[in-house]
Amino acid sequence: MRPYSHFSNILAEVRNKFANTQRDILNASRILIISSDEMAGLFASFIA
């Protein structure tokens, strides 16, 4: 096994992990945004 191919494998792995992490963060923020919208709707219905 050449050291270069090993290094590129590690790079690909890191890139995949980073992409997954980014997607997780996006999903989490989307969930937070949705839940804050729902909270705002609940709050508005309490006031009305």
In this predicted model, what pLDDT tens digit does every residue of 12-30 receive, in sequence order? 999 999 999 989 988 888 8
- What number of CA atoms fall less than 13 Å from residue 33's CA on the CB side? 6
Which pLDDT value is given to residue 4? 75
pTM as predicted = 0.49
- What number of CA atoms fall less than 13 Å from residue 44's CA on the CB side? 6
Backbone angles phi, psi at 35, to 5 degrees: -70, -35
Q: What percent of the chain has pLDDT over 70?
A: 92
